[in-house]
Every structure is written in C-alpha cells, then in structure tokens.
Amino acid sequence: MELRAWMMGAGAATAVGAVGAVSLTDTSEPPMQSLAPMKVEMASPPPVAAAPAIRDFDTEFCLPDLGPGASGCMSRAQLLKMDDHPVDRVTPSGEPRRRKLTMVHPSDFAVPEREVLTCTDFGELKSEGWGGMTTADQADESYFVRYCGLRSIARLASPARTSKFDPAGLSKRELDTIPAKDWPTLAEEGGTPDEPVLRQSPDEPRAWLADSSTLTMRIHDVALADFDEDGEAERLIFLAGRARGGTSGFASYALLEHMGGDMIRIRRVQLD
C-alpha cells in the first residue's frame, strides 16, 4: 500500500518522494486494488447510535500509553468519557498533564504555526492538511492520532453478528494471510512488494514487530468489533513505523477484514 497515505506531517509528500518511487505493481500477477479507507471525523465525531444494543455495547480497547497499566486497556464506556484535551499522565500534584501539538500549514510556511490543545482543533487542522514538522512535533502528532482517533473510532463500534477472527487476539496465522501489497511499502516501481518479516513483541503480548528492507513497524492489536455496520467483526489495529535510516514516520489505525476464504485485507482508517 502506498506509504504516502500512511504518512504524518506537512512534509510527508516530500519525505516519501526523497526515498524513491512508491508502487504496488507486481508484474507477475494482476495488480490488487487497495481497499478504500474508512473515513472517521475527529472534528465532529459521530454521535453514539441511539439503539440500545449499540449504545450499551461495551468491549475492551487496548493501546499502550492511553489506558492504565502497561497494556493500556480500557472499556468502550471509559473511552467515550475521555476529555477532548489529550492527556498522557498524572503530574506529581495529581493533575492530568495535557498534551499540546505544534502544527504547520501544508504548503505555505509563511502562515503562522498553530498550537493545538484539543481533539476538535486537531481534527479540523488535520483535515486541511496541517501537520507536525519536526521529529518532536511528529511524535506529538502520533499521540494525538492515537488518543483522538480512538475516541472517535470507539463511537462506531457495535456488536458483530458473526466473527471469523480468533477471540484470543491477533495471531501469526492471521497476519500471514494478508497480501504483501496491503502493507506500507517503499518498493521501487515495477518491483515486488516489500513484504515485512513478522514476529511477536517480547515485551507486549498484544503487539507485533514488522521489519522489511525499507521500513520498521509495530502493530498493536486494539479491539475486535463491528466498526462499519456490516454485521461482521473487524479487528482494529494501530500501525506505526518509520523508514529505515530516515526520520519520516507514519502512524495510523486500520481494520483487518476477512474477505472470504482465509484472506484478510488491511483497510486504513482515514482520520479527518
């Protein structure tokens, strides 16, 4: 999958172009079309559905640095109550520490930078193409993506009628069925996809490490629910990484979807 779509920051297009042409073309077989991203608004998140089965539905969402403990697990009810101001920890005085983010205009650097404190403002600027410029800003942006994105995505979760996923969690078997073309890649045009080598994280039971010749990535198993109202369960993951030997980073939520048989596809979540 074209890496540009996963990139963060106003300089993403330049950063990707500097590394090399991005292509999903494989001359040995017909090209596989990427799944259209699922768009989720952060500036004006959708209301929780009024139907009792959805309104009262609760499931566990796990992502380190967001929830309590090392696993960062929270219930959907807890997520829906999270503040619009991203926080990352409690200060010695007992007060939550509010995160902030500096964002720059995507094309006109004469426009003054903006300091962002809320998910609402972050969603509005991100939808206009604003992003973090420095490495530190991109780290802050990644946190806003994790925090604000999960608040919005959790609103869409509903109980699935059926599920083909292992309820015990993301497994190597599931990951191995994903086509190589679905993974973020910097493969040269006309070359084969840069398929990653996968292994489970030694320190996080819900995380997997994925390394290719050009990228290093971490995949977090976040939640299992129906996120697109089709009755089928999707596995929500958070994928973050960067180009080897570079500073360009990417961070995004995505859905793993069963496509019939044993094939699982990656559908990126586009946060606006």
Q: What angle do CA 145, 148, 153 make, to 5 degrees?
A: 100
Residue 14 has what pLDDT?
Answer: 34
80 SS3 class? helix
Residue 146 structure tokens? 């994790």
Segment 36-60 mean pLDDT? 70
- Note the pTM of the prediction, 2 decimals: 0.83
Q: Which residue has the higher pLDDT, 3 or 65?
A: 65
Q: How many structural domains compose the chain?
A: 1
Q: Which amino acid is at 200?
A: Q
C-alpha distance from residue 233 to each of 111, 165, 213, 224 (Å): 44, 7, 32, 6
- Which of residues 48 and 132 earns the better pLDDT score? 132
139 or 1, higher pLDDT: 139
Is the pLDDT score of 148 beyond 80?
yes
pLDDT of residue 249: 74
Range of the domain at 56: 3-271
Task: State the pLDDT confidence band at 18, using cuts at 50, 70 and 90.
Answer: very low
Instruction: Express as a percent the part of the chain with pLDDT over 70.
Output: 76
pLDDT for 6? 64
Q: How far apart are CA 21 and CA 42, in angstroms?
A: 31
Evaluate if residue 201 carries a pLDDT over 80.
yes
